[in-house]
Amino acid sequence: MEYRRLGSSGMYVSEISYGNWITHGSQVEEDRAIDCVKAALEEGITTFDTADVYAQTKAEKVLGKALKGVRRESYELFTKVYWPTGSGKNDRGLSRKHIMESCHGSLKRLATDRIDLYQAHRFDYETPLEETLKAFDDLIRQGKVHYIGTSEWSASEIESAISIQDAHGYDRFVSNQPQYSMLWRVIEEEVIPTSIKYGIGQIVWSPVAQGVLTGKYKAGKRVPVGSRATDKKSGANMISGWMRDDVLNAVQNLHPIAEEVNLTLAQLAVAWVLQNKNISSAIIGATKPAQIKENVKAGGIRLAPKTMKAIDKVLGKLPETNPDLTLSPQPRP
């Protein structure tokens, strides 16, 4: 395992991190989820990402239980706030009330006294940005949070926040967590240049495009039993956009490229993401330890320019690049 600095901060993260978005507390039984965390630690992963909304708070509880007894200073714990975990009118967004209450809830569920990286899970158009940033900074001053970041914020939203943080002497955001893969490249045109300008590192999710880039889905074939494409309560809706014959056939055409560099398709996908110098870490998920052991082999791989070009040639115009697709929910009616 190799490690990278999180943006311009002094904290290092494992370049491959473990996330439990649709696994812990939902798709995977607790014992197996704990086995996955143990496998991640054994493989050198020190960075663990979750959110209060994952499995309606259950994912945080499982992760906290899985990390019990592990020396707290030896790993980096990330979580997020924004989405509702209850039915209250104030139980969503980035108001001071919701941020403070959500942070305290996450600390309790994760069984820890501090969060290494606390992230705004989306941009909140209903709350004054100054209020949000003051609340985050107060959490840092209280020692409950070490660093702060965003998730799926646009370049202009990030820039607005940095301007306010600098004006008030608040700690800046050091990270952004966007979707990024060979097929989803919407951050490249605007978010990444802005992030480089302000010392922000990307912690990217879905580097294998919800499993499509593993090659397990084939055009005209029945989807594998138990796969994400069949799980209506988890990732089926998100993956549906890639379940097209043109995409699935192109992915199969990546096999010779992967074989040439002695990687599986999944490893090639994760390695591709890590070639971007603005990426601090790529988040992988798993339903069983073997998947972790496979995917971590993508760490430390340097793909030659000719390999990167060959990938682009196979995928052609399929990758999505429109920066306007970095979206947050609009205000409630």
For the residues 41-58, what does the mean pLDDT come to?
94
Q: ∠ at Cα 278 (41, 327), nearest 5°?
A: 95
Q: What element of type H or E holds 312?
A: helix 305-315
Query: What global pTM score does this model have?
Result: 0.92
DSSP letters for 14-37: ESEEEE-SSSBTTTB-HHHHHHHH
- CA distances to 307, 308, 317 from 252, in Å: 16, 16, 16
Q: Note the pLDDT of residue 233.
A: 57
Residue pLDDT, tens place only, 161-203: 999 999 999 999 999 999 999 999 999 999 999 999 999 999 9
Domains of the chain: 3-209+265-302 (3.20.20.100)
d(CA 239, CA 211): 8
The answer to whether 27 and 33 have CB atoms below 8 angstroms apart is: no
DSSP H stretches of helix in 82-200:
96-110, 129-141, 155-168, 191-198
User: Is 54 among the catalytic positions?
Assistant: yes
Supply the mean pLDDT for the chain.
Answer: 92
Q: Is the distance from CB of 215 to CB of 294 less than 8 angstroms? A: no
Annotated catalytic residue, options 3, 18, 54, 147: 54
CB-CB contact of 247 with 214 (8 Å): no
DSSP 10: S
